[in-house]
Chain A
Amino acid sequence: MIEFWQCNYQKILKSLIEHVEIVMITLIFALLLAVLLTIIAMYSRRAGEMFIQIFSLIYTIPSLAMFALLIPLTGLGRITAILVLTIYSQYLLLRNFITGLYEVEPAVVEAAVGLGMNPLQVLGRVRLPLAKRSLFTGIKLAVVSTISIATIAALINAGGLGDILFDGLRTLNVYKIVSGSILSAGLAFAVNGVLGVVEKRI
């Protein structure tokens, strides 16, 4: 195993970096979209519930099928992968963002409005801090699921740790399979830990 890593560390490192890149770019787009949709949901409860419904429906489509479906539209490669991953993570992000913000106790919000906070102050000083846990839960779940689904994106030439994994499967190389698995699991674990620390600091 160690020998395998010594010989292939460059390829492994490259895959790991690719993987992190895909996840990071996905996360940036996914968060931007989620924040936008959440703000809309703050003004209209019906819109919020509709978003969750739609994305939960999409979430049930197997990711491999989704990649395949999009190939005729956006071709092989990273763009398709990032698109699919962004859409998938919306369900996890929105479900937690929107319900978290809705579930802040109505009396607390009424008091805030009654004391003379404008809508932005109610959001920033009351709703967001009280929904912090849900917000972070959403982000953590989305990151972990993106890291794991991103391995499948290797099948459409998007690169990443999936390359090592699928190479291993094709050639029945146990070292590769184990390395790919350990790295993607380790990555998810590490990021989750980091976000946990960030949550406590804020």
Chain B
Amino acid sequence: MVQTAIEFQEICKKFVNTGYYAADHLSFQIMEGEFITILGSSGCGKTTLLKMINRLYEPDEGKIVLFGEDISTVDAVKVRRRIGYVIQQVGLFPHMTIAENIATVPKLLKWEKDKIKQRVTELMTLVGLEPEEFKGRYPGQLSGGQQQRVGLARALAIEPKIMLMDEPFGAVDAITRTLLQDQLLDLHKGLKRTFLLVTHDIHEAFKLGDRVMIMNEGQIIQFDRPEQIIREPGDEFVATLIQSVKAQERFWEGYR
């Protein structure tokens, strides 16, 4: 039987000094092994949703349950160590080598040195970075795409059951992005982990997600399989979104 990996129960979040909800009574379930993409424009609450899962933000109301466990009852640091986290700015530690960056969490968990070394090599190969060539380098010596690979490897280090990714490919060029997206899909297939990816790029959301969550003004507008969303847009907002993509495609078609 497939387990429920993530469950939101009536989650609300309002930031101080703002009048509106960043999360407005959110309730949903995500199954283990699903690849969920969360789509929305900036300020729609998608990043807030993600950060509540690893307790970087605390909800004002409601309950978040990960694999049957209410996370508000678990120490925040412990919750975070079970979850992989990748952000757009990557946030690699500039004073550490690539190998040291990837080894961050295993070191926090006090793994043995040999085991860490082996794991780092494994991870670098997994994300497509030649270990011998890159492990001794510093983040500043890498391209944007390579840095994001390291960020991915660092988050995957202890095989977390849940991976949270906040616009991981927002800062890389279009060609590298397509490549990284394909690799991420392969990675997901191989690992059978639960992936959550936040993006404002509708192509990315529909390409990667088993299910796509469309958000606007703190609410979930539609949460369904991509083909279902395209067939039956949930409301005016989603319909307009899909229309705009089709219009763009016609633009490219015109140059054939």
- Interface set of A (CB-CB < 8 Å, partner B): 105, 107-118, 121, 125-126, 129-130
Contact of A115 with B87 in the complex, beta carbons under 8 Å: no
Q: How many A-B residue pairs have CB under 8 A?
A: 55
Bound CA span A66–B80, Å:
51
| Residue of A whose beta carbon sits closest to that of B82 | A116
Which residue of the partner chain, among B54, B81, B89, contacts A107 with CB atoms under 8 Å?
B89
Question: Within 8 Å CB of A108, what residues of B?
Answer: 91-94
Contact of B91 with A116 in the complex, beta carbons under 8 Å: no
Say how far B108's CB is from chain A's closest CB, in angstroms.
6
| Residue of A whose beta carbon sits closest to that of B155 | A115
Bound CA span A114–B50, Å:
11
Bound CA span A117–B92, Å:
14
Interface members, chain B 69-91 (any A CB < 8 Å)? 77-78, 80-81, 85, 87, 89-91
| Residue of B whose beta carbon sits closest to that of A118 | B77
Interface members, chain B 44-70 (any A CB < 8 Å)? 54, 56
Question: Within 8 Å CB of B78, what residues of A?
Answer: 116
Question: Within 8 Å CB of A117, what residues of B?
Answer: 77, 108
Query: Beta-carbon contacts of B154-171 to A below 8 Å, as 1s and 0s?
Result: 110000000000000000
14 cross-chain CB contacts under 8 A: A105-B91, A108-B91, A108-B92, A111-B85, A113-B80, A114-B80, A114-B85, A114-B91, A115-B104, A115-B154, A115-B155, A116-B105, A116-B108, A130-B93
Q: Which size bracket describes the interface of B in this complex?
A: 20 to 34
Bound CA span A9–B94, Å:
51
Contact of B56 with A113 in the complex, beta carbons under 8 Å: yes
Say how far B172's CB is from chain A's closest CB, in angstroms.
15
Contact of A111 with B92 in the complex, beta carbons under 8 Å: yes
Interface members, chain B 138-161 (any A CB < 8 Å)? 151, 154-155
Which residue of the partner chain, among B81, B90, B108, contacts A111 with CB atoms under 8 Å?
B90
Q: When A114-B54, A114-B87 are in contact, do A126 and B105 touch as well, CB less than 8 Å? A: no
Bound CA span A107–B93, Å:
10
Question: Within 8 Å CB of B110, what residues of A?
Answer: none
